[in-house]
Structures are given as C-alpha cells and as structure tokens.
C-alpha cells in the first residue's frame, strides 16, 4: 500500500521512502503482478479484490466482466479513470502488464489472453521525457 506522509513524501508499506523521479513521482519497486497488487492495489480494492465503500467507492475487480477486453484494465491502470489515479508515471509498461495479468487471472477472473508491455505502450498517454 502506498502511504503519503504529512510532508508529502511517498512511503512504501514498510514505511521506507520510495524512489521518485525528478518530478517527485514515486517509482514502485515491485515487479510481479502479485507483489504490485498486494503492495499498491489492495489498499483500495481490498485483498480479496471485492472493493470497498465508505469515504469513497472502490470497485470490485473480482469477477468483473469489464476485464474481458485487456485494453480496458491497461488503460485504467496506466491513465486513470474518475477517482482511480493514473499509475502510468510510477509503473513501467512491464509492471502494468504484470498487474493487469494478475488481476485478470485471479479473484474469480479466468481470462486467458495476456497483456504485454507493448500493449501498454500503445495505450498509455505520453509520459514525461525522464522515463
């Protein structure tokens, strides 16, 4: 889970500061889809991917029929959508593909096609030049 300290520094789940790019955007060290989901996504979507509501509404990813088209979750993770922040500046193309593939093959989802880093590159909005 990503935490933001009161002084604005990004902290990882263990409390250590995350590496940031020159624009101050966190770089996430996790590389596998499972590690990314557990370290970042489950903070909102919950460990079982069933979502949550309270101060905000976090949609369920478990059994989500919108995940059938691989382009949809790639675009949402990379570019954001409504209250979902864009992770395209903090995740590499390979990281986005990994977490999308993890979600699409776990939590009651059983989609067989896979996202690739090339798919992500084609769908992400342009990034700042330091990436």
Residues in the chain, how many? 131
Alpha helices by DSSP H, listed for 55-116, are 71-79, 93-104
The position carrying tokens 């460990």 is: 47
Residue ranges covered by each domain of the chain? 27-123
Nearest CA-CA partner of 107 in 7, 21, 34, 56: 34
Whole-number percent of the chain with pLDDT over 90:
63
- Report pLDDT digits (tens) over 78-130: 999 988 999 998 899 999 999 999 999 999 999 999 999 999 999 988 766 55
As a whole number, mean pLDDT of residues 16-23 equals: 63
As a whole number, mean pLDDT of residues 50-68 equals: 92
Distance CA 39, CA 81 (A): 20
pLDDT of residue 70: 97
**For the whole model, what pTM was predicted?**
0.79
In this structure, CATH architecture of domain 27-123:
Orthogonal Bundle (1.10)
Position 75 pLDDT exceeds 70 = yes
């Amino acid at each position: 889970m990503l935490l933001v300290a009161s002084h604005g520094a990004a902290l990882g789940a263990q409390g250590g500061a995350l590496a940031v790019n020159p624009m101050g955007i966190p770089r996430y060290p996790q590389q596998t889809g499972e590690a990314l989901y557990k370290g970042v996504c489950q903070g909102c979507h919950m460990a079982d991917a069933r979502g949550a509501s309270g101060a905000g509404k976090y949609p369920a990813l478990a059994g989500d029929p919108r995940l059938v088209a691989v382009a949809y979750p790639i675009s949402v993770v990379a570019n954001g959508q409504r209250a979902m922040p864009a992770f395209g500046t903090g995740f590499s193309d390979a990281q986005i593909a990994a977490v999308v593939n993890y979600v699409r093959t776990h939590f009651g989802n059983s989609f067989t096609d896979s996202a690739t880093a090339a798919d992500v590159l084609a769908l992400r909005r342009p990034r700042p030049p330091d990436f």
